Structure 1
C-alpha cells in the first residue's frame, strides 16, 4: 500500500513540474508577441516612420508591375555547352575547285537556356557550314556558319574566321599499281598471282600543285580469307613519295581486278647431317628415317631453290644404337610443311677409312674478268680419305665427292693461295684432303 501511494505522489509531482514549465514558456512567448505588436504599431501608425513604410511599399509595387525582360533574365537558368570536333561541311563545286585552309572539324560553343541546350544535344543535328559557292579561284576570308540552332542561343566557333584558298583542278593519267592488304588474314600456304585489271591506267584530278606530289596510284586488293581465284572491285588511292595518302579525285574510284590463287608445293628428300665428332673408334653404321621426304609449301620462286631438307644429327653423344626425334627447320620463305619433326634410328659400328685418288678440283665463283685469261692450278686433283663405317663406305663412289677452289675476288693477273673445301652426298661420314690448299696463277 505504501508503495502504490508513493508512485501516485511521484506522478503528481511530475505533472506539477510540467505545468510549471509550460506556464513559464507561455508567459515568455506572450511578452515577446506583445513587444512585437507594440513596435509594429509604433512604426506603421507613427508620423515619423509612416512615410518610410509608404515609400518601401511603393517601390515594391512598382518593381512587380514594371519588371522587364532583362530583369526576368536574372531568374533564367543559363548554361554553356561545347560540341567538340564538329565536321565542317564545305559547299563548293568539287569538280572544279580544290579547297585548302579549312579544318576538317571545329569546336562549337553554345550559350543559352539549359532547356534549349538540352534539346539541341538530344536532336544532335547542328551543322557547321563553309559556303564557298560564290567564291572564285584564289584566297578569300570567310566566316563559318552554324545551322539548326535557335536564334536565342548564342554561338561561338573556335577559329570561325577562315582564310580559304580555291585552286582549279586539272587531270593527269597515271599507271596503276597495287598492294595486297590483309595478307595476315590469309592462309600462308597460298600464293597470289599477278592481278589482271580492267585498265592499267587511271585519271587523277586535282590542282597542279597536288598532282606534282603524286608518286604512284595503287589499287588496294583485300585478300583476307581467300583460298581460290577471285574477282573484286578494289578501291584506289594516290600517294606521295613518302607513302602518305593524298586527297585527290581518282577516276574511276574503284577498279575491277581478277587474281589467281595457287597453293605451290614441292616434295624433297630429307638428308641427315652429322654434327660433332663420335668417339675415335666409332662410326654410324646405319641411319633410318621415319620420313624419307617432306612436302613444302611457299612461293614457287622459293621452292624452286630447294632440292632437299637437312636435319642435324648430334653424333658426339652417340656411342650405342639410338632412336631420336629431331626437329625439322624450314628454309626462309617456306610457310609450312607436311611434318615438323622426324624420327632417326641409328646403329653404331667400327670406324674405318677408304681413300679415293685423283678427285678433280672444281673452280667456283669465276668472275667475268677471268673469262679471257688463263687460269692454272698447282694441282688439278687431290686424294680424299673418307672415314666411316664399312657399310657407309661401300656405298660411296668418287663421283659422290666434290672438292672446290673458290676464286671469288680474283680478277687480275698473279698468284693466289686458296684453301680447298670438300663435301659429299653422304653427310654421315668424314672427309679428309691430302692437301689443304693450292696455288692459282692467272695470266693473259
Structure 2
C-alpha cells in the first residue's frame, strides 16, 4: 500500500477520481437548486405547455423609504405539466410573480424574478428571469396643476373660453430625489374641439413632464383632477351703416338712405369684437337707382362674427327729382293806392323756379301751383330790393332763381 502512494501514477489517478466526483457533486447540486425556481424541465410525453403573456409582477420593497425603477410591469410565464393540473392553474392564475427587494438598499442591483403558490408538479419558466433595477430613496413634493385647453381654434364661430377652475389645484408627486428635481411642469389637457356648452366637472388625468417636455413616470396623488370652464359667446351692439357707390342719374337727388334697423347685436370673440365699431350692408350702387324703393341686402361682417337675428336687412332709399318750371308769375302785395310798380331785375314779373321732390309729387306740378310774392308795404317811390316769398305744396321743395328782386315804385 505504501508503495502505491509512492507511485506518482497512483496519486494522479486518485486525484483525477476525486476531481470527477467533485464535478458530479457540484453539477447535481446546481441542477437541484435550479429546478426549484426554473421552468426548463424536460418534457414527458404526457406533459403540456401553456404560456401566459403579460402576467403582472409584484414588487416587495419598503415603499415608505424607497422607490424602484427597472421592474417590468408584466412578464411572460410558461407552465409545464399534466393537463389536469396545468389547465386549472392557467385559468385561475392564482400564483404570484414578484421581485424581492426587501433586503436591498439604494443603488443598482440585478435581481431574480421569482414565483410562489405554483402547484409543485408544474414546471415554471419566467421571461425575463433576471432584471436590472435601480433603488432610490423616496421623495414627495406638491406641485401646482396647469390646465392646457387644446383645439381652441375648433370652437364654434364666435365662442371662446372664459374663466376656468381645477380641483384640487395641487397634487403630490412621489418618486426619487433625482426625478423630483427634473420635474418641469404638471398639467392636464382638456380637448374643447366642437364644444357646445360650458365644461362642468370634467375628470382628466394629470401628466408630469421635465423641462424638455419628456413625460416622467411618477406616482401622482390624486391621479385625476376635476376641471370646469365657461364657454362664452360675447356680443356687442353697434350701428348699421349703408355704404354707396356710383352716382344718381341727372336731376335726381338722394333724400335719405338707411337700413330698417339702426343697430344690431354682433356675436364674436372678444378679440374680434374689439375691432368692430359698426357693421355695414353691402354697397348700394346709386347709378342703378331711378326711383324711391326698398332693397333687401346682407350685412358684411368680419371673419368669426355673426348676427344671428338679422341675416338680411332692408335699405329704404328716398329720392328727390329736380325739375325747372319756367315763367312763374310774381305777385305784389300791399302796394299803396296810386302807386305803380315795375320790375327791373328780372325785367318781367315772372321767374323760373326749380322744384324738387318725389317723382309723384312733381310730375304734374304746374306754374299755377307755385306762388311767388313780393311785399311792397311801406315802400315809397323809388328803386328797391325786396325778398321773394315762395309758396308751394308741402311735399315739394321750391327754389327761385333769385332770392331778391329789384323793383321801382312810381
Normalized against structure 1, the TM-score is what? 0.47
- Structure having the higher helix fraction is 1
TM-score, normalised to structure 2's length?
0.50
